[in-house]
Amino acid sequence: MVKKIKKYSQGEPLAPWREKIHEVIFEADTPYGRLFDALLIAAITLSVIAVMLDSVESVKAQYGGILDVLEWGFTLLFLVEYILRLISVRKPLMYATSFLGVVDLISILPSFIGLIYAGAETLLVIRVLRVLRVFRVFKLAEYLGEADYLMRALRSSRRKISVFLYTVFIFVVVFGSIMYLVEGEENGFTSIPKAVYWAIITLTTVGYGDIVPQTHIGQMIASTVMIMGYAIIAVPTGIYSTELAKVYKQSVTNHACLSCGEDGHDQDANFCKYCGEQL
């Protein structure tokens, strides 16, 4: 289940000290590796909270200085980490261009860009993107299997979900357009895209209430959309439940008994439950 990521460890061996750094930084099955990951996730979370607070005016006014210091601290920390990552992998370019590698770089840049460029808000948001690094938590052994499990079910239900989303798309366009005709501009349905936006708000049961039907016919159509939205939520849920059950069943039936050939053994089974032979 838990597949160790070996991407960067094939071919000729790294120097022992680089091997050691690699083990601590990239892997999560040694005590130091686990500790490093735990600390890293704490640092990421704290730095994201700091960035978010930095965008609150009253907080910035009072604690702006502390937040700046913190931000530079985290930036340097992530910079050191990024350099260590580059050093300890066999193919630095491959790492640097991978999704998480780019995210790692993006976590560092804004502070330096901020020295020469003054788009404060944009830089804030780019700094927040380091939250994506939290995905590294799924590298931890106890989450790796679970995340993989959920992803496999998601992948195998991809097309069914697409069919569902196409249908929802057609649905909201048709009902939105009809409401545009029925309610008209005077009731807030100023254009078809706006009316489609209303249909999405209603079908997904979000219901902001910023645009609501005023006419009797409009309210009847809205009722239909609501009840359909309430009922068809069953479709993605049903799809995903079924796929998860399938993936689970497959993981159960990976190993057949060598003696009687029956499968369906649990993952923790040592002996065949049908004939008693060792698995």
The answer to whether residues 260 and 277 touch, using CB atoms and an 8 Å cutoff, is: yes
181 counts as binding a second copy under rule CB under 8 A: yes
Q: Please report, as residue ranges, which positions from 119 to 158 form the binding site for a second copy (by CB under 8 A).
A: 121-122, 124-125, 128-129, 131-132, 134-135, 137-138, 142-143, 146-147, 149-150, 153
15 counts as binding a second copy under rule CB under 8 A: no
Q: What is the DSSP string of 122-138?
A: HHHHHHHGGGGGGGGGG
How many Cα atoms are found within 13 Å in the side-chain-facing hemisphere of 64?
7
Q: Minimum Å distance from CB 156 to a second copy?
A: 11
47 counts as binding a second copy under rule CB under 8 A: no
160 counts as binding a second copy under rule CB under 8 A: yes
Two tokens, residue 186: 């005077």
254 counts as binding a second copy under rule CB under 8 A: no
Using the contact rule CB under 8 A, the part of the chain among 2-10, 62-70, 90-98, 203-211 near a second copy is 203-211
Q: Residue 87 or 154: which CB sits closer to a second copy?
A: 154
Q: Which phi and psi (to 5°) does residue 39 adopt?
A: -65, -40
197 counts as binding a second copy under rule CB under 8 A: yes
SS3 34: helix
SS3 114: helix
Q: Minimum Å distance from CB 240 to a second copy?
A: 4
Among residues 141, 40, 123, 114, which one has the least CA distance to residue 84? 40
Two tokens, residue 65: 């200085």
212 counts as binding a second copy under rule CB under 8 A: yes
Candidates 245, 255, 258, 261; binder of a second copy (CB under 8 A) is 245
Using the contact rule CB under 8 A, the part of the chain among 5-13, 74-82, 107-115, 171-179 near a second copy is 171-179
The answer to whether residues 100 and 10 touch, using CB atoms and an 8 Å cutoff, is: no
